[in-house]
Amino acid sequence: MTRPKLVAIALIVVGTAAGIGFALMTRRQEAPPAAEPAAAMPAAAADEFEPTIANAAPTPGPAPEGMAWIPGGEFSMGAADPLGKDANIVGMQATEDSRPIHRVAVDGFWMDKTEVTNRQFAEFVKATGYVTVAERTPTAEEFPGPPPENLVAGSVVFSPPDHAVPLDTHFRWWSYVPGANWRHPAGPGSDLGGREDYPVVHVAYEDAEAYARWAGKRLPTEAEWEFAARGGLSGALYPWGNEFLVDGKFMANTHQGHFPNEDTRADAHGGTAPVAQFPPNAYGLYDVAGNVWEWTRDWYRPDYYAQLAAGGVARNPAGPPDSFDPGEPGVAKRVHRGGSFLCTEQYCSRYMVGTRGKGEPSTGTNHLGIRLAKDAP
Ligand SMILES: [Ca+2]
Ligand SMILES: [Ca+2]
Ligand SMILES: [Cu+2]
């Protein structure tokens, strides 16, 4: 499908004024054409987790600064419906594309202990002069449809209504904000003052890749991400176990109260939190659940796990060769993981460790960030 067609679809879906912003989602179509649309979703039945068998090899030397050794090994990947609570009655079918549970093996690697912070990203920008996608003015060549005055650099910001709304479309709480970017997370008037240790946001996939090249790291595969996030536990709902609260304490920055109009901040944080405010998982990783979503390098397809499950143990799977999202056919997406400060059991319980998210590669938001991996020498 050609780019003009994609842009047209995006504009029709969201209307013209706000449309240009969401049309930015489609401005770089880097995926190969998608294969046939996904067949029927994998059946929910017969989901079985088996024990995680971590590799026995010792840690290969001292850890790079801020990184933890993830031993790799064989594990069961995916998400079952949690403990009698049907996760698919919440708005976004939280586990349907995370089945069937299947066996995966990954090699050991280093993983950032925290999401990449504003401080770290600022060092990269200072050293390289890099300009993020959200800071670049879209061109008429990329978007032939809209009037030129609508071609304004910006990004997508959570803009909750002040009253309860139906949870039928995310356009009720997401807005394209001209001037929003990593330096101005809520748009003009906001800045990074006091936010040095908050996760960088409004980063597109290519921004994450550029940062990774500079840092001598790389984005993790989805399988690496999940192995790391599980921290050696098998089949747990969360990176720390099966109970959302531990001794009455929150373990991640998520959303409490009525979504999207009211966040009671029972976990002490509205919006993003500085990294590492909650206990790490058993591998020493902070905020793998919640705070900000994290890019992985895999293309998204809801039927990928079914494909892998048919072939025995999948070794270092790197995602399908193309992307298909039945909810938005024609828009190639990469997998996001971990959920964010906006995840809630009322709408999108993606802080559950086996669940998946997805996003168009040129689109950053203020709840999407970066965590990187690095190969052992
Ligand atoms: Ca919170
Ligand atoms: Ca996170
Ligand atoms: Cu969510």
What would the pLDDT profile of 259-275 be if each residue is shown by its tens digit?
A: 999 999 999 999 999 99
**Residue 279 CA to ligand 1 centre (angstroms):** 15
Q: What is the DSSP letter of 135?
A: G
Provide Rg for the chain, Cα atoms.
Answer: 20
What is the separation, in whole angstroms, between the first and last Cα of the chain? 41
Q: What pLDDT does 86 receive? A: 56
**Structure token digits, residue 221:** 């595969």
**Structure token digits, residue 356:** 């998946």
Which ligand neighbours the alpha carbon of 114 most closely?
2
Which ligand neighbours the alpha carbon of 280 most closely?
2
**Residue 362 CA to ligand 2 centre (angstroms):** 19
**Residue 141 CA to ligand 3 centre (angstroms):** 34
Question: Do residues 333 and 361 touch, judged by C-beta distance below 8 A?
Answer: yes
- H-helix or E-strand containing 111? strand 109-112
**Residue 272 CA to ligand 1 centre (angstroms):** 7
Query: What's the average model confidence in pLDDT over 217-221?
Result: 98
pLDDT band at 25 (very low <50, low <70, confident <90, very high): very low
Per-residue pLDDT tens digits for 299-341: 999 999 999 999 999 999 999 999 999 999 999 999 999 999 9
**Residue 266 CA to ligand 1 centre (angstroms):** 7
* Domains of the chain, earliest start first: 65-131+198-377 (3.90.1580.10)
**Which residue in 45, 41, 39, 70 sits closest to 57, CA to CA?**
70
pLDDT band at 88 (very low <50, low <70, confident <90, very high): low
Instruction: Give pTM, 2 decimals.
Output: 0.89
**Which residue in 284, 291, 295 sits closest to 250, CA to CA?**
291
Which ligand neighbours the alpha carbon of 289 most closely?
2
